[in-house]
Amino acid sequence: MSYNIFSWNVRGAGAKGVPLLLKYLVGRHDISCLALYETRVSAVKIPSILRTVGFDDFYAVEAEGFAGGIWLLWSTQWGSLEVLSHHRQYVHARITPKNSLTSMLVKFVYASPNAALRNILWRELRSIAANISEPWVVLGDFNSYLSPGDKVGGATPNAASMQKFRDCLDDCSLFDLGFKGPPFTWEGRGVKERIDWALSNDRWVQSFPDASILHLPRMKSDHSPLLLSLSAKDADNSQRPFRFLASWLTHEGFPAIVKEAWRPGKEWLPASQAFTQAAMVWNNEVFGEIGRRKRRLMRRLEGIRGTSLETKI
């Protein structure tokens, strides 16, 4: 029994067909908790959606007209969810899965498209992080990039805005959990972006080492849903899916892999497939070999010193 969290900028929770789509997704992915952003309708509609998907509890930050809105819907048979604080751009909660003795802090984020308002979110994140020593994961729509590669098409990403996002994550000791699936989570008007993120602190990774993040296909919305599964085998049991590793960005050889796969004029699907294949080979033969050498060196040092050194690099 796992605990799976579904995070999605639905762009209208009351849109035709959305409740039935959510019901299908809950069954398809054994979802324990639904986080919906930009709901655009009053929370009075939640009870009917709860009945449709088979959940029994919820919490809502109301939309302001057609702007914003955060809904959390969950089933208590999977575990408990306690809301600790909220803001128009986030809900901060503690989740205790029934199949685990470890509770975790989860922050569900819908960041404002307005850069000045996002600064408030960064300040709130820093304030919460200062008092956290537990496993903590933060996920949702951040309306922000970490690097220029998170956007294809349109205007060049704002460097100052990206730096503010990176600085916030550094100050909060949060890092990108990586993902499986398509690289971009928003698409429209010839532009593709990765603006939906799953981030965590070290304690969370130590507590849930088998967790995975899956970018699901876009449905009804211009955003892709994110599926966070605490047990990797529950996310996709057909084969081990592709997972982008943020640490690849630190290697000087990685930009060449990206440039070769995403040549100008190449269509998105074949480019994505070419990148996936090339990245997996490069990770195994080049990037992974560096890690293996480091681990071999650490084992040699451990043998020489006769101590138990950390071998995870």
How many angstroms separate the CA atoms of 28 and 273, rounded? 25
Tokens coding 74: 């969950």
pLDDT digits (tens, 9 = 90+) for 74-99: 999 999 999 999 999 999 999 999 87
Q: With 60 as the cut, is the pLDDT of residue 237 above it?
A: no
C-beta separation of 142 from 196 below 8 A:
yes
How many angstroms separate the CA atoms of 69 and 12, rounded? 10
C-beta separation of 165 from 33 below 8 A:
no
Q: What is the DSSP string of 149-176?
A: GGEESSSPPPHHHHHHHHHHHHHHT-EE
Helical ranges in the chain per DSSP H: 18-29, 46-53, 115-129, 159-172, 202-207, 232-235, 254-261, 268-282, 288-305
Q: pLDDT > 70: what percent of the chain?
A: 85
Q: Comparing 312 with 255, which gets the higher pLDDT?
A: 255
Q: What is the DSSP letter of 64?
A: B
Mean pLDDT to the nearest integer, 121-126: 97
Of 40, 81, 86, the C-alpha closest to 63 is 40
From first CA to last CA, the distance across the chain in angstroms is: 30
Task: Give the amino acid at 307.
Answer: T
- Sequence spans of domains, the chain: 4-240, 254-305
Pick the CATH number of 4-240 from 3.20.20.70, 3.20.20.80, 3.60.10.10, 3.30.1130.10: 3.60.10.10
Q: Which of 3-7, 48-52, 198-202, 206-210 has the lowest mean pLDDT?
A: 206-210
pLDDT digits (tens, 9 = 90+) for 286-308: 766 555 555 455 444 444 444 33
Query: Which residue in the block uniquely carries the two structure tokens 């040092």?
Result: 301
Of 157, 167, 219, 232, the C-alpha closest to 194 is 157
Q: Which of 129-133, 156-160, 308-312 has the lowest mean pLDDT?
A: 308-312
Output the pLDDT for position 307: 39
pLDDT digits (tens, 9 = 90+) for 241-282: 566 776 777 778 888 888 887 777 767 667 777 787 788 777
How many angstroms separate the CA atoms of 266 and 251, rounded? 25
Tokens coding 285: 């033969």
Of 57, 48, 128, the C-alpha closest to 89 is 128
271: exposed, middle or buried (Cβ count in 10 Å: 0-12, 13-18, 19+): middle
C-beta separation of 40 from 63 below 8 A:
yes
Output the pLDDT for position 86: 95
Length of the chain equals 313
C-beta separation of 102 from 135 below 8 A:
yes
